[in-house]
Amino acid sequence: MNPYSLSIDDLVTKARHIRRRIVQLNAGSPAGGHTGADLSEVEILTALYFRLLNCAPDRLDDPERDIYIQSKGHGVGGYYCCLAEAGYFPIDWLPTYQHANSHLPGHPVRHKTPGIELNTGALGHGLPVAVGIALAAKRDNSPRRVFALTGDGELAEGSNWEAALVSAHYGLDNLVIINDKNKLQLAGSTRSIMNTDPLGDKWRAFGLNVTECAGNDMQSVVDTLENLPSNGKPNVVIANTEKGAGISFTQGRAEWHHRVFKGDEITLALEELKDE
């Protein structure tokens, strides 16, 4: 079970605290960060780690723990801030993000950071591994579930669709794929760079259940993840998010893909994220 099981109100507060940490994390990084991707995924990560996942910092090697894979590895800054809030490693590691010899490199690395299940960052690799883990769990009659978070730009990688075929063929109903559909990738919109719409129809054509939610609305995220279809098929949740969500001057702006907060921007962002 999840060690926190927070209420919706407490999850919303926790997400705000994680966003504050993201601002400070990226502002202090010598190599920048991926601010937009970090911010769009916050509600998803918060709901998973503080309510839904059967995993905990004191059970890192539990053979029946749920597995979470951050396939969109460039969103690691938000992931680190969530893991630190959840107690997987000390908060005082966060200021070392991307510094020399840090436990927190610019993409997830399993042997460096407690709680990380898979090295990711080369896009299109996380979901295929998640499928393999889910298949192994099925064959072992394990109760574990496997969650994989993909970016929508990442779905241009063909390896994801090969993985979808396998997941449906083997009836991996212990697999939950969450698409962080923030509609921007790198320097522009996914629609103009590599259009994957209609995304839901594509997943259905491969034989998966498809559910959509408002990915930056905590109630919508929790209600969706807690009420997924159970019919012998893998589940896909299309989480309709906004890149840079939660801060007025970063929301929906492609330039914040790799921009970080500087000077007065830090103060302004933290002011917007004060507890209500």
DSSP assignment string, 166-206: HHHHTT-TTEEEEEEE-SEETTEEHHHHS---SHHHHHHHT
Total-model pTM: 0.98
Residues sharing a CB contact under 8 Å with residue 23, sequence separation 6 or more, in sequence order: 247, 261, 266, 269, 270, 273
pLDDT mean over 116-124: 97
What pLDDT sits at residue 208?
Answer: 98
Strand bridging mode 175-181 / 209-214:
unpaired
Alpha helices in 28-75 (DSSP H): 35-40, 42-47
Classify residue 187: in a domain, yes or no.
Answer: yes
CATH classification at residue 138: 3.40.50.970
- Opening angle at CA 167, ends 50 and 213, nearest 5: 45
The tally of domains found in the chain comes to 1
pLDDT-based confidence at residue 47 (cuts at 50, 70, 90): very high
pLDDT of 44 higher than 80: yes
- Opening angle at CA 198, ends 172 and 213, nearest 5: 65
pLDDT of 18 higher than 90: yes
**What span, in angstroms and rounded, lies between the C-alpha atoms of 97 and 77?**
8
**What span, in angstroms and rounded, lies between the C-alpha atoms of 59 and 190?**
38
Classify residue 98: in a domain, yes or no.
Answer: yes
Classify residue 3: in a domain, yes or no.
Answer: no
Question: Residue-wise over 13-34: b if at least 16 C-beta within 10 A, else e?
Answer: bbbbbbbbbbbbbbbbbeeebb
**What span, in angstroms and rounded, lies between the C-alpha atoms of 128 and 148?**
10
CA distances in angstroms from 71 to 87, 109, 119, 138, 159, listed in the order given: 22, 12, 9, 21, 12
What pLDDT sits at residue 238?
Answer: 98
pLDDT of 49 higher than 80: yes
pLDDT mean over 33-46: 98
The residue written with tokens 């993840």 in the block is: 225
pLDDT (tens digit per residue) in 84-110: 999 999 999 999 999 999 999 999 999
Classify residue 78: in a domain, yes or no.
Answer: yes
Q: Which two tokens stand for residue 44?
A: 């998803």
pLDDT of 275 higher than 90: no
pLDDT (tens digit per residue) in 154-212: 999 999 999 999 999 999 999 999 999 999 998 899 999 999 999 999 999 999 999 99
pLDDT of 276 higher than 80: no
Other Cβ atoms within 10 Å of 228 Cβ, number: 16
Which residue range(s) make up the domain with 62? 8-272
Classify residue 1: in a domain, yes or no.
Answer: no
pLDDT mean over 202-229: 98
